[in-house]
Copies of this chain bind each other. A is one copy, B any other.
């Protein structure tokens, strides 16, 4: 099967290339980047030396992409630009897996509130399923042509929380989420703030109280709960390259055994979610480089709260790995293909 990546100059794009380079079934046949057009991939992504030496970035127009023999396109474009490619490609019968935020919300009003302008084609918002594969309740989404990959923070948060809200094991009011992300979450860009000398040895909160990812977190939690959920989401930048650690506090509406039972029911047969014993805290270093989500929980009898922790690789399970997992499932490949 032939795949293409649109907009591969950033970290998600680079990670997609690296993962697809070793995928047993998917062949990478076009990789575009306006600014890198004409450059061999292995010059920009030296990890590919000896692995994929032949491919070159192109500046293909959407018409050329439509006429190509590529089946599945991954969009690793900046938010707002994806739509320009996604809609014509899907209309032309291609499958599109979008890593941007363009189609992650269901509500056009919420989109406007968080992104500051009307969505250019709001009719697509309800047609593009929001995707963390482990959380889908049936396989209907596999028939869709446009898929919205969940964001990195949301994946780390929704994976542990959604099964618990569905099972009614949490009080949906007063949830507090503190997340720490590696610096690559800020993207690959020329910016003093993301310079090595600025970020090393620096731990800092940012964007409180209304980070953009809050919109998809709350919309999805509300769907799981069956009613409005408002949370306190507190992102931080940590002095590491990759990884997200999320620590979540929620009032318990059940026992720790019930919590673990709900998780085991949901994830027992899922290769990419590891349910760790209580008091074994997920560590970013054990998930970075993998497509895994590690989750665990403790119950605090003093406060009546569950404390839930998770860890993912923001560029893999939080972006490119998840996109490939989605492709694997849609096309009947082994779910793990290219991912271990």
Q: Is A203 an interface residue (CB 8 A)?
A: yes
Q: Is A47 an interface residue (CB 8 A)?
A: yes
Asked whether B195 lies within 8 Å of A195 as measured between CB atoms, the reply is yes
Asked whether A303 lies within 8 Å of B209 as measured between CB atoms, the reply is yes
Q: Is A307 an interface residue (CB 8 A)?
A: yes
Note all chain B residues with C-beta closer than 8 A to A184: 197
Note all chain B residues with C-beta closer than 8 A to A176: 176, 249
Q: Is A198 an interface residue (CB 8 A)?
A: yes
Note all chain B residues with C-beta closer than 8 A to A205: 245, 247, 281-282, 307, 309
Distance (whole angstroms) from the CB of A145 to the closest CB of chain B: 30
CB proximity to B under 8 Å, residues A261-280: 271-272, 274, 276, 279
Asked whether A298 lies within 8 Å of B188 as measured between CB atoms, the reply is no
Q: Is A202 an interface residue (CB 8 A)?
A: yes
Q: Is A204 an interface residue (CB 8 A)?
A: yes
Task: Select which of B46, B200, B232, B307 is within 8 A of A196 by beta carbon.
Answer: B200
Q: Is A294 an interface residue (CB 8 A)?
A: yes
Q: Is A253 an interface residue (CB 8 A)?
A: no
Note all chain B residues with C-beta closer than 8 A to A188: 192, 195, 197
Q: Is A289 an interface residue (CB 8 A)?
A: yes
Q: Is A241 an interface residue (CB 8 A)?
A: yes
Q: Is A242 an interface residue (CB 8 A)?
A: yes
CA distance A243 to B234 in the complex (A): 19
Q: Is A300 an interface residue (CB 8 A)?
A: yes
Q: Is A82 an interface residue (CB 8 A)?
A: no
CA distance A235 to B53 in the complex (A): 29
Per-residue B-contact encoding for A197-231, CB less than 8 Å = 1, 0 else? 11111111110111000000000000000000011
Q: Is A290 an interface residue (CB 8 A)?
A: yes
CB proximity to B under 8 Å, residues A143-196: 174, 176, 178, 180, 182-184, 188-192, 194-196
Q: Is A239 an interface residue (CB 8 A)?
A: yes
Q: Is A114 an interface residue (CB 8 A)?
A: no
Q: Is A283 an interface residue (CB 8 A)?
A: yes
Asked whether A195 lies within 8 Å of B196 as measured between CB atoms, the reply is yes
Q: Is A50 an interface residue (CB 8 A)?
A: yes
Asked whether B201 lies within 8 Å of A241 as measured between CB atoms, the reply is yes
Q: Is A284 an interface residue (CB 8 A)?
A: yes
**Chain B residue, CB-CB nearest to A11:** B197
CA distance A235 to B315 in the complex (A): 25
Note all chain B residues with C-beta closer than 8 A to A243: 201, 203
CB proximity to B under 8 Å, residues A232-259: 232, 234, 236, 238-243, 245, 247, 249
Asked whether B178 lies within 8 Å of A208 as measured between CB atoms, the reply is no
**Chain B residue, CB-CB nearest to A279:** B208
Q: Is A51 an interface residue (CB 8 A)?
A: yes
Task: Select which of B197, B236, B340 is within 8 A of A247 by beta carbon.
Answer: B236
Note all chain B residues with C-beta closer than 8 A to A194: 195-197
CA distance A241 to B184 in the complex (A): 18
Asked whether A209 lies within 8 Å of B340 as measured between CB atoms, the reply is no
Asked whether A47 lies within 8 Å of B203 as measured between CB atoms, the reply is no
Asked whether A203 lies within 8 Å of B292 as measured between CB atoms, the reply is no
Asked whether A241 lies within 8 Å of B281 as measured between CB atoms, the reply is no
